[in-house]
Structure 1
Amino acid sequence: MSVYVILLLIVPAVSGLNLTNEEVTALLSFKSSISYDPDDSLSNWNFSIDENPCSWNGITCKQGKVVSLSIPRKGLVGYLPAAFGSLSSLRHLNLRSNRLFGRLPLELFFVKSLQSLVLYGNSLSGPLPQEISNLTSLQNLDLSHNLFTGLIPSSLIRCQRLRSLHLSNNNFSGPLPIGFGRSLVLLERLDLSFNSLNGSIPGDIGELSSLQGTVDLSHNLFSGLIPPSLGNVPDNVYIDLSFNNLSGLIPQNGALVNRGPTAFIGNPALCGPPLKRPCSSSSVVVSSPSSSLPFQPNNYQPMSSVPNNGISDNHRGMSKGLVIAIIISDVIVLFVIAFVFFYCYKRATSSLRKEKVEEIASDNNKGNNSRKECRCFFAKGESETISEDTEQIDLVPLDDRVRFDIDELLKASAFVLGKSWMGIVYKVVLEDGLNLAVRRLGEGSSQRLKEFKTEVEAIGKIRHPCIVSLRAYYWSNEEKLLIYDCIPNGNLSAAIHGTPGMVEFKPMPWTMRINIMRGIAQGLAFLHEFSPKKCVHGDLRPNNILLGQNMEPYISDLGLNRLVNIVRGSSLLPSERINTDKPQIQQTDVPGSPAPKLGSCYHAPETLRTLKPSQKWDVYSYGVILMEMISGRPPMVLLDTSEVDLVKWVEFCIEQKRPLADLLDPQLVPELQKENEMVYVLKIALACVQINAERRPSMRNVVDTLDKLTREIDRSL
């Protein structure tokens, strides 16, 4: 007798409940398929505890039917039962970030009401069935980070209401279905990266006119030419074609224009701008006679056929040597002019900058980081007093979901979260209950608006689950504001060390620390490799890693140094603010956090020698953060009678062959049975903080290594 029949027999009479026997049986069948439930998420799925299944954890009902089953990030180990097909009114199924395995049951694809199927971050395998075409109401499909194989079914194009399609990090192969772009015209989000998809990119993909954000086709096996029609997608869409087998000239039209090389790297046969790889004549392939390119042979008469009117070749132009000499002399003259201008400018502004820095320092010393409420964070009358020759910009949204204006922001309640040399941070609560974090940069230079706008809009395009999103900004003569999502659980520094006055400090278990480490690494890897520009954070520290509702990490303050320097008329980088004799103390942005840390402790050694930030800076900072999370020590540690930075302290302990318990956060000692995992992470940290920057791993390598560790942990359960 099948499990399904047995469950049907043991389900009590539910005549007093709205749900049918089949729906209740389907829910209990799912519970019985779960072999491990570490958080007891399904503990109340029991009639002896709660007789109403509609009130069970993760279940939502409407009009006596189950319409939603959502149990994400609970570590559930098990499989999806065929009985899910009995949930005939199910609209949303969200089991993301668990440890589910096995194949998708065919019965699930006969639930025609299903609108959202989110199974991200499990170990599900097998093909995606052709029966997916039955889900004609499907709008959101996220199967990324699983083990799916086979073709993307051709029947997927019948799901014409799809708005979000995420299939990244699987083993899908073969070409995209014919009619992919022509059929899925409502698609807004598309991520097919890290698969083995091959064949050519379909020409009709340019018909996806509703796309937003990033179209990610990277890390596949796509070959052939980039179809020029791909440039027809909206101009603000970032197209990532990196690490494929594409060839030929990169089209320069529409959304493909003015893209950096990051979008095309890893395709050895691609040529032309923005790559520094010129095209040979054989690389330029014309799709049709009518699609002539600017320098087609048919469009221009060859020089050899132009009569020279008796003038010999030797006298038709200047010699190469003379041309080179003229160019060099012009460059030298321009360099001298630029040097003189820069010298005069520095002399004229140096005294003003010094006074400004002193004023900021004075303000910070007087700052009070208490959580007192203030009705507004600047007087509206002040912001409106603007000189006639200064351009003013109102609140500028960087996200379609921004529905408030500057007046609503001014009327909202605001609480001071912290203050540093980078400005005051407020928690702002709008009338509709929306929580925002607003950083007030204060008054400053009004001459660099265009530069500020370029920087802030580039930051606003960066969207990743582990990066704080910049939602809007405001610029006036008196005020410059940055408006972010509000992240509720403080910062990583407070989570590691606690805060003064905290009534109860709850240390983080090892599993939570691993998840935070992975999240930070994933955010940095995205910045370094997949953001519209290859971004560098440059000042990563536990204070600017915020923690969400479920302790998931968010990297904050991206590009903040640059924005502050623009506002205040300075060009200083973090490395320039460090005095090698007396490192500056950084004020924290969260009241009650541990004693201020030495800013240089998280900075790579080369930041003292070079002004150009690099990705290896972030790798070093990340390594120090790993050491802090493993050891529970602050970035400066007392060794004998002197203080040394955390990296030197860890290296000293290893050289002295001290036991692992001496290196660990005392709160982790009860979990010493996970010693192998801790040593594994410590090795990653040591690789990240190597003196030679070139020997440090990339953040992509770090992510892959931590993913491997996580898979091994899962297999050991």
Structure 2
Amino acid sequence: MFSPLFYLVSLICFTSNVLVRSLNDEGLSLLSFKQSITEDPEGSLRNWNSLDETPCSWNGITCKQEKVTSLSIPKKGLKGFLPKGLEPLSSLRHVNLRNNGFYGGLPVELFSSQSLQSLVLNGNMFSGVLSNEIGKLKYLQTLDLSQNSIEGAIPISLIQCKRLKTLYLSRNNFTGSLPVGFGSGLVALERLDLSFNRFNGSIPSDLGELSSLQGTVDLSHNGFSGEIPPSLGNHPEKVYIDLSYNNLSGRIPQNGALENRGPTAFIGNPELCGPPLRNPCSSDTPGASSPSSFPFVPENNPPLTLGNNGSSNGKRRGLSKNTVVAIVVSDIVGICLIGLIFSYCYWRLWVCSCKKGKGGDDGKGRKDCFCFRKDESGTLSDNVEHYDLVPLDAEVGFDLDELLKASAFVLGKSGIGIMYKVVLEDGLTLAVRRLGEGGSQRYKEFQTEVEAIGKIRHPNIVTLRAYYWSIDEKLLIYDYISNGNLEAAIHGRTGTISLTPLSWSIRLRIIKGIGRGLAYLHEFSPKKYVHGDLKPNNILLAHDMEPHISDFGLGRLANIAGGFPMLQSDRLPSEKKEQHSAPSEVVINNSSALNPDSCYQAPEALKVVKPSQKWDVYSFGVILLEMVSGRSPMVQVGTTEMNLVQWIEYCIEEKSPLADVLDPFLAREPEREEDIVTVLRIALACVQTTPERRPSMKHICETLIRLNASTV
């Protein structure tokens, strides 16, 4: 029989044990959050247990020195509201609840953590107004409230968040004008998206003071009125400012970031005038300097052509002295501009290095390994998120685990990343491009771009099937085209002596296929795209020699991913070929010490940042010259080296016979001479120096269709 003293001691010990194991204040605060959740379909909060001492082991919670620093539960189907009583989370730095079903207002207590650096709540159903208390977040760098139903004006206190770098408020019900000092106050702002709201009033002129802005500044689909502040042009040309679908009026300023833009950035503003819109400014329009506000675009003129005897059937007009001076001056200015751009850009090369024992060099056909991994943590660390493999096609039947387990062979390495041939266990062969490990803050922009590219479906364009994004890797998964590229088909593979020449019927098949693919991008794709970097080594050939245009949109994606800084918004610099990196499947032609890839660039590409469809037409013309002549893009004439276009012009001036221009293998098919000359004339039209004189790809395709070839 136990004495009363024993019971007293036992009770004291038991009580002490309970007190030792009681949950701290941060855990209790998070439990109140859990109690506000009405639906948790994936059981994301299953291990949030009141018997724990701290919440640091709970799903979605990250701690540092036993203090909660991150609450990250994205895309889990949670439904509920944010409760009050979050004040104990005083060390909270990151909150990420994106793409759930949270509703109701944003409690004031959410802004009580002075350490908060990122608040990501996009893709929910939050409503109400944004509290003025947000100005207390002195360390806030990322605020993403897009795709909710928040209303009212932006609180003026927001401009006190001097460290704010990313501000995404798109697709809400915000109203009113932007706060006074918006531009001059948010000095660190890099990303700005205010689209699809109900903002009104004039665009503040101090937006031009946001010197750190990058990518797209989206003010579209609002009610902004008045004239476009010329100060917006203070931003560099790489910044794209979208002002479409507002109530703006007056003449479009032509400077900096507003110059040389397409009409897409300004459409939906009936009162705007001047280039690039086809709405001329009247003489009384403020800022209008001439009756005509857009340039006259002439029709395509007949190109300078070769007759069957090689002589020119047209006259060459000399340039006036003033014209020559203007061209020289513009070239000097363009060269200076390129020099400045190069001085601010850097090149990075991501090289895949594998741990000892996981990959080895066994010679010509060596197998290389993937150097990417899947992060299972699901937590937000240093404001970086992790994502899974995202299919862009309903027929994609593999997942990330299958991809990681697959056999992988390096197809080539370059400044834009590494390309692998990947064979899955079921035999499916894919091409995977690894973009690198940078750009952790630009997932939304990458997602929008890659999903748009993934919608492109054409038999002459390589299909993008899926993508993967994480802090460690950015991967693009394509169909694998097995018969090499056009460069190898014309000039032979590196390291091989034999070359099987292409018949004219096969060449014409390839020419027509490339033309159809480009015409689709230019005329029939959802956004009338520009490839921007067309050349023979990114035209892949199937076993039936049908061409497939690859690397479409790659420059833009690489720029967003951060693995390769771009000199131009959508155009790739020439890729650097790596030694010892290419097995037998790699095709690299290095016919000149000079960079042959630059031969495919239109002359205006060095002066204009935004690519145009005429760039692609010029590149297509150079490819036609290469296929007709069989020559490399750089041609040696005596002691002089010139590009292919210069060489053709030299042959015309010298009245060389047609046989000296054509590939000797084509001389064996004299019955095809008429078609060959027609293609040569098309090529000459495509490489006109003046972009407006080049024909459209649609017109080129209509001409090519009329050519007859028995096997085409």
Task: Tell me which protein shows more helix as a share of its residues.
Answer: 1
Higher relative contact order (CA 8 A, sep 6+): 2
Q: TM-score, normalised by structure 2?
A: 0.49
